[in-house]
Structure 1
Amino acid sequence: MTAAEYWDKYKPHRGEKAERRPVADRFDWTGIPGSGPGAEVLGEPKTALDLGPAEGENAAFLTRAGVEVIGVDFSPAQVRRAREFWSDVPGLEFVHAEACAFLDGDLRWWDAIYSTWGAVWFTDPDALVPRVLRRLSPGGVFAFSHREPIAGQFGAQQMGGKWLEGREKELTVYRWQYSAEQWAGVLKLHGFVDIRSEVLPHPDAGSLGTLLVRACAPR
């Protein structure tokens, strides 16, 4: 059993009718409709790489706006679903691969690399962040979001495979989460500049917000 199986079960389709695809009418960092900034965080890229796109709505939004986008996800189930959802969007490609392996094997440079509650949250930053920097164009944008961390729960946090309960072998995955200040330090250490990190409050008082981080490759 692998971590990819965990994401194969993310938002499973239930019922006999065809699954409805997301609307993709704006770029979403928070997962809360109408909340937070949009695609302007990425600047005006001509090319973009989405790490962990799942259903692919952000990638589809950017592609419709004229950006060349590739989404990379290591769940074959999510890649199949994204391809089916957006088969009518010309130029949008979804690739089945692990993020670090893709960045090692594909030597293109990107104007923007981003992740919305995706692979950046679930990959060791000491492995991923330097690879991202190597694949960004000079001045390119690296931006990502994940849930606001609970105080004191920083670094690699163990997650159980709750939707895989009852399987013969237990599955455990990890997510790497840091405070805004800690992420700024990680990115600076690896050579990023113009770093901005902030918590976007949840509209419901008492609920955790979204941590949004943006940094640039040196020119």
Structure 2
Amino acid sequence: MNWTQYPDHGPNESVLGDVAGLRVLELGSGAGGNLAHLATLGAHCVGVDVAPSREHTARERWGHLPGLEFRTAEAADYLTHSSDRYDVVYSIFGAVWFVTPAVLLPLIRARLNAGGLLAFSQLPPGAQQLASGTVAMRHDHSPKEWADLLRHHGFKDVQTDVIEPPAGRKVGTMLVRAVAQERQD
């Protein structure tokens, strides 16, 4: 499992804890390799990606694995219309980076069981411009800003880390984890 933009660099699935028997949702599942790995560890996994071609590729590669489903949908739309609940929601350079936090975070919180984990990775603030030479329309928040946003939207125990890049590379990866609080409905 790769949390960074560099293959086989950085932490592995242990970021999520023991996933055996848990319901796991990946927002921006792409070709499905990370989610397939979690399914082999005993998780029941659902991957959502906005691109139909990514779902097709994921099904071709990993469709034979039990406990693994792929869907084509925009993340906020899927979370709005699904009644499924999850123990873990994660996104690796995916929806959390692209969808407005004020829209996406409450939707994720509504689908996470109390005590469930949200984890996501993306470039650290300011690194997008360094990496590409241009500024993209992404949610480029500092670790403190992410922590404040998450707490505001019903999360606690927020951890934000910047994983240093491998030797010879300039851009690290920000990894954020937070736990869903009990809901106050």
Is residue 46–residue 68 contact of structure 2 (8 Å, CA) maintained in 1?
yes
Instruction: Tell me the secondary structure at the aligned position of residue 48 of structure 1.
Output: strand
Corresponding position: 1:211 with 2:174: yes
SS class of match (1:196): strand
1:169-180 → structure 2 map (5 Å cutoff): 174-180=137-143
Using the alignment, how far apart are the partners of 2:142 and 2:154 within structure 1?
19
Q: How many residues align?
A: 176
Match of 2:8 in 1: 34
Q: 2:64: which partner in 1?
A: 88
1:38-75, Cα deviation, whole Å (9 max, x unpaired):
11111223110000011111100000110000000111
Pairing 1:62–2:25 present: no
1:95-147 deviation per Cα after TM superposition (whole angstroms, max 9, x unaligned): 01111111111111100000011111111111000110111011000000001
Aligned partner of 1:147 in structure 2 is 123
CA distance in 2, matches of 1:111, 1:206: 34
- The root-mean-square deviation of aligned C-alpha atoms, in Å, is 1.8
Residue 169 (structure 2) pairs with residue 199 (structure 1): no
Query: What is the Cα deviation at residue 205 of structure 1?
Result: 4.7
Q: C-alpha distance in 2, partners of 1:75/1:67? A: 24
Q: Tell me the distance in 2 between the aligned counterparts of 1:202 and 1:86.
A: 29
The whole-number CA distance in structure 2 between the counterparts of 1:31 and 1:77 is: 21
The one-letter code sitting in structure 1 at the alignment partner of 2:64 is D
More moved, 144-153 vs 67-76: 144-153
The residue type equivalent to 2:57 in the other structure is R
**Which one has a larger percent helix, Structure 1 or Structure 2?**
2
Residue 72, structure 1, aligned to residue 48, structure 2: yes
Query: Given the two structures, how large is their TM-score scaled by the length of structure 2?
Result: 0.89
Q: What amino acid does structure 2 have at the position aligned with 1:44?
A: D
1:138 & 1:148 partners in 2: Cα distance?
Answer: 28
Give the CA deviation at 1:91: 2.4
Q: Which runs of 5+ in 2 are unaligned?
A: none
> After the TM superposition, which parts of structure 1 deviate over 4 Å for at least 4 consecutive aligned residues?
none
Instruction: State the partner residue of 1:170.
Output: none
Quote the sequence identity (%): 41
> Which string of whole-angstrom CA distances, capped at 9 and with x for unpartnered residues, describes residues 176-218 of structure 1?
1211111111101112100000110101355110000000001
CA deviation after TM superposition for structure 1 residue 34, in Å: 2.6
Kindly provide the amino acid, as one letter, of the partner of residue 65 in structure 1.
L
2:75 is aligned with 1:99: yes
CA distance in 1, matches of 2:142, 2:92: 16
Partners of 1:144 and 1:151 lie apart in 2 by: 16
Match of 1:49 among 25, 33, 38: 25
